[in-house]
Amino acid sequence: MKKGVRSLLVMSLVTVILAMTGCSQKTKTSETPAKAVTLTISAAASLTVAMGEIKTLYAKERPNVTINYNFGASGALQQQIEQGASTDLFFSAATKQMDILQKKGLILDDTKVNLLGNTVVLVVKNDSTLAISDFKDLANTEIKKVALGEPKTVPVGQYAEEIFTSLNILDKIKAKAVYGKDVKEVLTWVETGNVDAGVVYGTDAKTSKKVKVVAYAGMNLYKTPVVYPVAVIKGSKNIDDTKAFLKFLSSSKAKEVFASYGFNFLLK
């Protein structure tokens, strides 16, 4: 009888230990951290500051995802992607560059979204005493240097040329133009006083305390709407994680960030 009781106790103890071991294994499995992922985002230079905040917010929601940015002129980024640069997401400052990649089959068509809008403005250094209050004033002889984005690769340079064409002063402006590799370089030249004025986005002007906006370009002055499309690159090795980040860019949290820098959110 005693042996029977002892055997029963031993069996019960073994059962409890096995059960506890099983629970422990389940707990360890459920707590296994998500796989670490690194995403490369190629984005227009005008998005630099806003996307920096987006990165911080996203890290709180998806700590396993590391975001690496590649900022530059949209045209230059487009060319890099065409040449096979490792990229997961492209965020352009114009539809032209995105359309080229789409025609070449380099993006996932169903992920393409026209996310943001912007404005084109004329800026001068804060302490400038030059009589500039309109884009057409840049044609005056006292204006010696005007900073513009390279129109072939920098969308804001393309918009600027459309504005000056509408005002019939493009040739005069070209004679005094200094071309930057991206909009940030244009802004820097104005901030340092190396040029008399520059054409940038309203969002870039808002990030600087060294320049002031003296004129806003009406939409009647440029034929191409200022639209920022974004899409997942077909060659991405992290399609699902990239789609998740793209979805976050459309979230209310991201919208607040973009709006704080003056971007228009195009999605309803």
**What local confidence, expressed as pLDDT, does residue 34 receive?**
80
Q: What is the DSSP letter of 109?
A: G
Neighbours of 69 (CB within 10 A): 17
**What local confidence, expressed as pLDDT, does residue 92 receive?**
97
Torsion-angle region of 200 (φ positive above 0: left; ψ -120 to 50: alpha; else: beta): beta
User: Rounded to an integer, what distance in angstroms lies between the CA atom of residue 193 and that of residue 76?
Assistant: 26
Domains 37-117+227-265 and 120-221 share a fold: yes
**What local confidence, expressed as pLDDT, does residue 193 receive?**
97
Query: What kind of fold does domain 37-117+227-265 have according to CATH?
Result: D-Maltodextrin-Binding Protein; domain 2 (3.40.190)
Q: What is the DSSP letter of 233?
A: B
Map out the domains of the chain as residue ranges. 37-117+227-265, 120-221
User: Rounded to an integer, what distance in angstroms lies between the CA atom of residue 178 and that of residue 157?
Assistant: 11
User: Could you give the angle at the alpha carbon of 18 between the alpha carbons of 17 and 20, nearest 5°?
Assistant: 65
**What local confidence, expressed as pLDDT, does residue 28 receive?**
43
CATH ID of 120-221, from 3.40.50.2300, 3.30.70.1150, 3.40.190.10, 3.40.1190.20 = 3.40.190.10
Q: Looking at this protein, which amino acid is placed at residue 262?
A: G
CB neighbours of 69 closer than 8 A, spacing ≥ 6? 40, 41, 42, 43, 48, 51, 52, 55
Block means of pLDDT (10 residues each) for the chain, 268 residues, are 48 48 47 84 97 97 97 97 97 96 98 97 97 97 97 95 97 98 97 98 96 95 92 97 97 96 89
User: b/e map of 131-166 (b: 16 or more CB within 10 Å)?
Assistant: ebeebbbbbeeebebbbbbbbebbbbbbbbbbbbeb
